[in-house]
Structure 1
């Protein structure tokens, strides 16, 4: 079976699953209104709004609105299995990525510098480590970057769009993944939100009507959970990028993107592990 034909079958199954979710998300007021469906497609309403830039997401008012909408999103009940898909997906990506071969010699040479043995050990270790947190499982967006957020400035109406990666997943992954996207398309991780900015977001996520009444202990708990799963976000998209380097028709340095995300993962890992370990020790 060729990669192209297999990709087509996977997409067909994936479209069927996500189209079911979109019906419920649309009914709950998320994204464009679903007007109808046909075969392998659907018809949705037009959204009169602009796509956000990465810098918009850190504006306090917009950040608060994103947090509020994400909190609502996480409360939508989507019928079906509610098992978190994070590690299922990461291991599927890993199995596919580790067996690839590239026709271009330069890409193949760069691909061969990746230690899949090391990568596998990192996945196992992080899965076990994040499991200590018992993070809540919600229906997550999983790809909440600026391009999937739209804002009607006149009506001050925010829209979460593009749910193709949506699945039941860990709450911390969705928030941590969103925070990683503050880095923008250039992956400038010096732009990762400060602790103060994260606290602001988390308070509005937990209690949008009275954010200042959220206890510090509750905010700190979500902050630690988010910090742990931001590492999973790096691994997820890093391994995803290896596959895209082989399969995607888009002209983009996907292998370079793998190294950007994986190197940031390795840079942040000791800091995050220290933070989480201290938090867990203090909670005993």
Structure 2
């Protein structure tokens, strides 16, 4: 902690003030600290890991965090100090969700509406496309000689079919978080906040919904509730797009786990994390459900 305290002394809003520091758990590419002074409470996000390997743009993260705050769903930005590898944001007191939270009545609907508020806000400074990211991650795995899930490349053709189907009714992109796991929702009792914009970028809104459904392990009824809350009605083609984008999330982000398993110093079984996502993707790729989703995604209704 001596090194951390020395770093905190270099952050202007914390200099010369008594403070308490509590580590916030859950960050895999940040060391997150809840710092309280007599004047305010903030979260100091200390960057860690290799951003190039994982495709993280810290300048874009800062700019997009500002945009999310302007949309009324993201924490305010207090300071950005790239020379220190730190982003300082307002601390939001409230309940941090976990996957079990989504079983409570009304939670999924609130989540869908909060996501819509983000998407209706200012555009982000960069774009995010899971097909491009998956290709980049796969290239990194191969070039670095990292371990890959058995059978992964066997589904390349089906992944291309998904891409083709999603291109048929693709609309304008919107500012997306792209990483809304349960721990990135904070409920202050009145408003639902969305935090952590490392992977943010303008994207298909259905990827945001599908990725959230994947990360928070929503069942089909909950996916329909989420889609209805966002769009007002869960038409068949929109619901199919959400499910297909959940598949893209599983297949693409699984490679993030393969990279982290080889490169991260954090004591976490990243390969198992990625394997679980790949296994879910493979189950859909080899299921009759895939053909139905591909057909429904291009329908007019």
CA contact (8 A) 2:253 2:277 kept: yes
Q: 1:193 aligns with which of 219, 225, 229?
A: 219
Counterpart of 1:100?
Answer: 144
- Per-residue CA distance 1:43-70 (angstroms, 9 max, x = gap): 2211111211101123231111111110
CA contact (8 A) 2:75 2:89 kept: yes
Give the Cα–Cα distance (whole angstroms) in 1 for the partners of residues 281 and 133 of structure 2: 18
Q: Which runs of 5+ in 2 are unaligned?
A: 1-48
Give the Cα–Cα distance (whole angstroms) in 1 for the partners of residues 256 and 51 of structure 2: 17
Q: Which runs of 5+ in 1 are unaligned?
A: 1-5, 103-110, 184-191, 208-213
Give the Cα–Cα distance (whole angstroms) in 1 for the partners of residues 141 and 111 of structure 2: 33
CA contact (8 A) 1:172 1:226 kept: yes
Q: Report the more deviating stretch, 225-234 or 58-67.
A: 58-67
Q: 2:255 aligns with which of 214, 228, 239?
A: 239
Q: 2:269 aligns with which of 250, 253, 273?
A: 253
Give the Cα–Cα distance (whole angstroms) in 2 for the partners of residues 140 and 263 of structure 1: 26
The 5 Å alignment of 1:119-268 reads 120-152=156-188, 155-183=189-217, 192-195=218-221, 197-207=222-232, 214=233, 219-268=235-284
Aligned pair in 2 of structure 1 residues 67, 254: CA closer, same or farther (>3 Å)? same
The residue matched to 2:143 in structure 1 has which SS? Answer: coil
Counterpart of 2:65?
Answer: 22
CA contact (8 A) 2:236 2:297 kept: no
**More strand, by proportion:** 2
State the Cα distance separating 1:122 from its structure 2 match. 4.5
Give the Cα–Cα distance (whole angstroms) in 2 for the partners of residues 93 and 118 of structure 1: 16
Give the Cα–Cα distance (whole angstroms) in 2 for the partners of residues 282 and 9 of structure 1: 39
**More helix, by proportion:** 1
Q: 1:274 aligns with which of 272, 276, 291?
A: 291
- Per-residue CA distance 1:146-196 (angstroms, 9 max, x = gap): 1111112xx33211111111111121111111111233xxxxxxxx3233x
Give the Cα–Cα distance (whole angstroms) in 2 for the partners of residues 128 and 50 of structure 1: 40
State the Cα distance separating 1:88 from its structure 2 match. 1.7
Give the Cα–Cα distance (whole angstroms) in 2 for the partners of residues 257 and 267 of structure 1: 16
Counterpart of 1:187?
Answer: none
The residue matched to 1:42 in structure 2 has which SS? Answer: strand
CA contact (8 A) 2:138 2:255 kept: yes
Give the TM-score of the pair, scaled to structure 1: 0.77
Alignment root-mean-square deviation, CA: 2.8
Counterpart of 1:86?
Answer: 130
The residue matched to 2:57 in structure 1 has which SS? Answer: helix
- Per-residue CA distance 1:101-121 (angstroms, 9 max, x = gap): 36xxxxxxxx36634642544
